[in-house]
Structure 1
């Protein structure tokens, strides 16, 4: 515990004013100054400190003051310690150098001394007025060790307070009063602190005065006599590297215990501020900031890599479909190009053929015309004969036509005569059959009359039947009763359906509740019920997988919460501590296809569950899994007392075991239920480096989880973080039991309620069923009555229909009888036939005369035709002779003419085909894409240029041009290529364009993520490079500083028979790097870290002063202070500490040091560079100057001793 110290209170009497005279003792060269202080007693006196003439001469340095403006009122004292730029280091010549150059120079521990022995920033003089116990005091300090001694309560620690407050540090840094006005002497309204600091070389000293008032917090500063602000004072202190707030350089009495309480990280930071390279703190802060930034970047990169890997895996799963889609698109694109090229190339080929055919046709036409002109005379004569032949042929044709027409007239006449002859024969036969037909008519009339009498008799017969109207009325009454019964039955049907539906629903509900009750009796059912409350998405996914197992190639392993059991429930809490909440709810796939199907079905936007769901899934190919071996062998496990690894304590499917090893490292987590495991030894075992593994693992002892890691930097120190294990909640056998009991009660209550409801429905069903049976019997009876009435009604209707059918038959038979009777008799018919026969004979005579006249005309025309035929034969003979003559003369003309006809037909055909091809090509161009049109233009331009160059080469007889890069394919080649593309297209199945859009979107996301990741990696590498660069400067400088401090610290402890060591504790987090002080005060102890609780107060004080002494030679601050550090030390330790302090602080390179102590041992070592300030305090100090002056007394004692020595000689 830190000792609580209250502000000392002076009495009302003032101290007497005294003067002290500083002189150098010839005996040991120690400067002793008497600082007198007193409290008021019966008479008020003023405490003063006066220096001799030597010290007064030093005040001449204060005559020159710096110019500057400042506020009259100082700022409040609540400010922290001043911070500013580091003090500029000097080279060996005393010139300041820029930091960039200074990096390659040796480290300068302190600034060069001035000719008066002081280093800039050291305290030259202190003056106090009305400050704590002091009325007035003014004294000078030496540039090396200043030992301030005096009895307790004299005001030694007040000097430490004056230094801190006078240089604008807050009161809180002293561990005393928190308000600045509390430091004004009692019964005084105001006071001040004035401190003179050594100024930079060539510049005057700095005189800082802080004016205090006891009535308020208001205070003010002056710098070299001019008002200034507190910020200006702080800036000056920062330039001089004054570090009052650093316990390593300024340790007030009430802060001694705080040094031991300071954690190792703070000790490192304060040590860097106080000593070593001036850039240590800056480097360390940069490393902390860069380290935090780098860890954040690495975590961000890991997250981004995980997201990127997941997107890549999903794209890889559909990449083949996309490739097929792209290949199909490429083929379709090629087909579109060929569809454009083929009509165009075909037209071009036809156009070329048309040009050739046209030239050949024109050429043959000219040749035929030339040959025809040569044979024109003979041909003209031949044509004249041909014309005569055609004229005779026309006349002959007309004669033949006239003859044929007459022959046709003769045939018609002959045919008409034949027809009349047949008609006459029929009439003759008709006369012969008139008697037979008359007999037949009489028979028909007799039969008709008999049939008619029969029908009329049947029609008049009456059959006795019921009254139809009465029967219909009776039938209507029966139908009404029947409909009433049917209505009552229909009214009962909804009741029956409602009862039946209620019974079915109640039975289904009871069955479902009984199934749920059975599930709660099983472990799987309890877990599912618990999982539904915990994570409904995960529960619904489990149920969906169970319903759709056939969709997956292999089993999807359900989350560990369901599929993993702990063999021994004593280990349930330990095993559960190895899991995170998400890991307990992770689904494990055993092949890539199942993993993709599960993600697409559940985690995509169109979830199979009908809502947006996000569940954890996992899969790794076996070649991607590289398991780190267990940290301990079985023999080591048994020797240490571990029962086994976590993976050996659980039962689970083999696929889940792979997940537990790869992701949770359960095969590397050793477990013991005992608390007696040697943790240090276990840490050594699990922290051993393995191939491709830096070392480190987790292990469990009792209810504590140990997480052992090894640093990746420096000496690769190991560290252990412990976590208390909570009781198992999810993997224990009792998980969710309280919930299950409550659920069972509720389900059993629901079942009972449904059974009561079902019983009520059964009773209601019986009542309705009885009513329905009665109505059905009544309805059946009414149906029988209705059937009997329908049969009687049908009989009446059949009789009516029979009589109604006879009436039309009677009417038709009467008409037929009347027509038969109205026919003429046989004599009248015979006369009529004979008249017809006479008409036919007359017409036949006329036809015979007409036929004879036509025969005469035919004979005359045949004679003329014979004469014309003979003339035509003569002309044909003449024609044949002339044709033979033409053929002999112009065989070549005929051949040429044939060739012309053939060429002309070819020309016409190609011309027609070219027009069609042109229209097809134009249509293809109109429908083609612009880029395809441009491709065709470029291809056609290259082809035309090649053909022109080829013609030119053929014409000139030079080497033909190269056809490389020229598309010279014909239509047949293009059509073959088109057919091949269509065949390939048929082989490639169609792919959903949505999959491709998803692939492309994810691909863009991947490219964007890769860019972001690349930038982040570059940034992380840059930060890491900065870290390595800064660490390469910081760590050697820090190691050198700690080695130097540690060497002196260990040597100091050896001198007092103890052991001490200073170590750097490394960590991945630079903010957690630390300096550990390890000490051992007894032989049987081990080195242990200095803490505020482990060591005694004296041991802490001794360790503190030895550390500060070890730090002194490395310090950069202009002065340091330690107040009453020797409290609790034994004499041996105190002597060693004092002598070591004198030795260290009085070296040439040492800085200014203030040692405040209330006691001194006899026969201590002193040095001529040290200065002893003795504080005298009392009520009756002499007012006369010189009385009680310790220096005068010492000088008198020395003079006396020398006199005695001379007398003895």
Structure 2
């Protein structure tokens, strides 16, 4: 039987300096209290057999497994092997470097891994090697992972290889199937596409026939155009010769009349010149007459202006006399009124009295206006101050709104309840506070994350009530009636907000603590009271980086249960019995809700200041109204006095005004009488001016008459010349009428000759161009004649341009019906035909390969699946027997949703621990921890008898089992592992049940032998520890364990063994003291014997 001999030296064992373990060939139980080094054996087996640190789940670096304070550790493992045992040595350094030796020779890790694999040892397989930290992961294994682990652990060596080969075959089969499907699909699409293209090819050839006809027609058309133009040129030449003959005859007949007309034209030219000269002279005389006429008109206007000036002077004199008369009448009226006013009394005393009263009113009005100005300035100052305060308050309200928006986004029901509370706050008798996150104000935003981390969000969104009846009323409304999910809190009846901390902060400053959590924020008294009572914020210190650096010292301080460093929160717990300290820490995340801070006291003060400003402003308005009323009364009295003063002043000054007016009018009258106009003198001056102008008019009229006579003489001479010219023109016109008919015919014939000459030239050039174009289109040389084959093709086509154009249009219309076609369509069709043939060949080859692959898969499936089914049946038989022996039910089966999906095969474990339930699949969530441990242990026991691997290791799997199941499982483990046909088994546990069944091959027995098993661990503990405390702890642990078993089982027959245990512990104490006297330290080496007692 293969077995393992494991040696651990130096500091790989974290508890002892050195330890040696000599396991037996069957069940090896390693029992001991926590901290006695049991798991060090498991770590040594794993690391010594080239296992990864991830398998252990304790540390990711191999250097972490070296005992603290030691530079390196050493592992030696001896493995049984026929022909000679294998010894593996590994030296581990704290810098994660390792030195390997195999059978005394240095080697690398790869060599060790190959040797371990050759012995069928798989430390990475949970079915073979199950460390303490990986016990929970066994139940988390998927069915597929469990199957692969089972195949590696107990299956034949080739079973897992066959499985992997099948999965690879299946993957390649899928790839081939996909390739065949793709090629078949591509081939079908290519055929369909080519079938569609075949019709396009036929259409292409049909289009090409039409295009060939079009090409011939386009070649023939220039030849037909050339012949048509050449025939037209010959006709034009004949017409031109005939027109020239007619033109010569007409010119001979018109010669005499043309000579006579020329003679008359020669006579008309001097006469027409004289007429033009006379016309110019007449025009010049007319201009001079017009100038004289204009001069006469200006003289007429000058006389009119002189007469108008005389009339204006006469009218001015009449008006002057009227003003003198009116002024005299006004003076008489004023004198009469002055006589009436002379009898009125004196009003001067009354006017003086009114002036005094007006000055008094003016002084009172000035006082009122001054006071009003002061009040307005004060009001403006209050308005500016109020605006500033309102701005600050709005800024605070905006911050509160931001908080509310966050609350609404995170918990809408709480926000809805908040709106209801604000509308109905008068219904409550005591203080009601909005959710804590709205009323808590952190004094420094940097500290918000500590407060938010300390208080749960459940409470941050809770309403706080001073009275419980108010809270009940609120919850009835919002939770029961409005169906809202909200939280509410009733503050403690006795306020805790001022509760002092257990220690003054000054005593903690040496650790870096600078304040308690309560001092970081403000809150209403009821809220603070609740937080002190529930979260003890008054007793939670907050520290800095110094606290983090001294954390090990800090957590030893009494009274510190919760504390904060810069980035973390620490929770310290002390055992009630052993006073041991356990700590947990968590990162402090940035604040989400409390970074926005609003000082409620400042907000309240701002609101009071705004109200005070508004009240004072209203008082000022009232005072301004009163002052305005007084000012109005003064204005009214002032107006009355001014009106009276005005009336009296007018009465007093009326006589003086009348006298002044009379004097003014008399002065004006004297001035008017002195400024008299002399009309006779003006009339004589006017007469003299008119006579002078008339004398000038006579001179102008004489010159005007001389020019009129000259113009009349010239006009008569022009008339005589015009009559002579009319006679010659009439004779010329008669001759022109006589020869006009012949001249028009002559002109028409001449134009025809010119037109025919131009046409002849055009047709000649056109014929040359058409001939050149026709030969160019037919690709002929300039001196080459039309080929015979082309001539024959032209004979089959129409011979006129109209017929050719009609046929061209028809052929083009037919060709245009074949759109989207080109020669590439034919090339593509031919190329795809070749591809289709190639694809058909490839598809045939791939189909044959797929069939061959399927045949190989079928054969490989038979080689793998049948042994696997037998293996699973054997495991199921053992597993079911074990569960039945525990009065439970369990089964193992091979599960697959699709028989062809070999990577989806898995082993399914289904268990039932209660008679009232059904079989359920073993998962990480459905069963309890103890049930998962039982199922895992029994599955491993079912694998044990199949004996594929040299040894198995199970570390503390019985944690969480109840005593009954633990005893049953242990009985099964002992019964199974102690058979001769099973492999070596390591069972590590911190506890063991008593009253176990005796099985041959078991290293521990009922009664004294059980105590032996326990004492083995105790001896290990005593032999290697350098502290008396460890011995005492181990002794107390064993004693308590034994007493627990006595109470549980109700048996007291273990008392003699307990006495033996205490005697042995006493001997160990004496031995330890002796060793300590001789040596300060010693290596702890313990070898198990058959019976240490």
Task: Check whether TM > 0.5.
Answer: no
With the length of structure 1 as denominator, give the TM-score of the two structures: 0.33
